[in-house]
Amino acid sequence: MRLHYFPTPTATNTLSTDELRETFLIGGIFRPGEVVTHYTDLDRMVTGAAVPTTAPLALPADKALGTSFFLERREIGILNVGAPGVVRVGATTYPLATLDCLYVGLGERDVVFENGPTGQAQFYFVSTPAHAKYPTAVATREQAKADPIGDPAKANRRRIAKYIHLDGIKSCQLVLGCTEFEPGSVWNTMPPHTHSRRTEIYLYFDLGENVVVHLMGEPNATRNLIVHDREVVLSPAWSVHCGAGTGNYRFVWAMGGDNQVFSDMDPVPLTGLR
């Protein structure tokens, strides 16, 4: 498990391109036959992926967590971004089709990822600390609440599927969903915002050969990251987080922090961006 600690906004402005990418961008988490995990100081969220092949893969314990098993003091949201697969929680099996989500609550000792018969399952996950146990639950892609927003004329028409949130799967603090774009739309989270009461992690996927220019940093001192398929961006509370792709794509967003109100955000006027 790799640990990530973040600089202040002022220090971020001094980073080179390579240093910025090393600090705020994670690549290479989808490794066949492995579970890859990264621990961040963004509200102590853990993010990673499991790509089972011929053998099942268990959610691992790690010294960095300070516990005897992964979910001893945590909860986790798992989204399958590959072919259909299976997650076993204790003695219960949960089949997950593409873009189905599984929430697993505090105290579940055994979480195992298994490949499906028709292709390569790829399980992406984000975990936050938890203080109480909520039931394990599945939300399919069809069941997830989807609010189309944006304007085709501004190239930001998109569908937001909410899986773990106040009106969906219940959790202690984790909020998780997935955004998909309509044809011809490429801008995400525009106009931009910050939310100082919670932090966020993005997984960009299904880009193919396209890239996303992800804008980050303070509104008056923005920086950018060039993001490729299945790379993760770590977004501190003080940072804007928006971007545009060279073609259609999807991204998973996950948040942890003080509250779970999706609309709790501080808008940034376009005239204030620098």
Angstrom distance (rounded) from CA 157 to CA 188: 9
Q: Residues 2-272: name the CATH superfamily.
A: Jelly Rolls (2.60.120.10)
Angle at 242 between CA 240 and CA 243, to 5 degrees: 140
> Which pLDDT tens digit goes with each residue over 41-100?
999 999 999 999 999 999 999 999 999 999 999 999 999 999 999 999 999 999 999 999
Angstrom distance (rounded) from CA 203 to CA 238: 19
Residue 192 has what pLDDT?
A: 82
**pLDDT mean across residues, the chain:** 93
Angstrom distance (rounded) from CA 169 to CA 179: 17
Residue 206 has what pLDDT?
A: 96
Q: Report helix, strand or coil for 265.
A: coil
> Which pLDDT tens digit goes with each residue over 216-271?
999 999 999 999 999 999 999 899 999 999 998 999 999 997 776 666 777 788 88
H or E element: which one contains 40? strand 34-40
Q: What is the pTM of this model?
A: 0.95
Question: How is residue 6 written in tokens?
Answer: 């973040």
| Span 163-190, average pLDDT | 93
- Residue of 49, 42, 25, 29 whose CA lies nearest to 227: 25
Residue 267 has what pLDDT?
A: 78
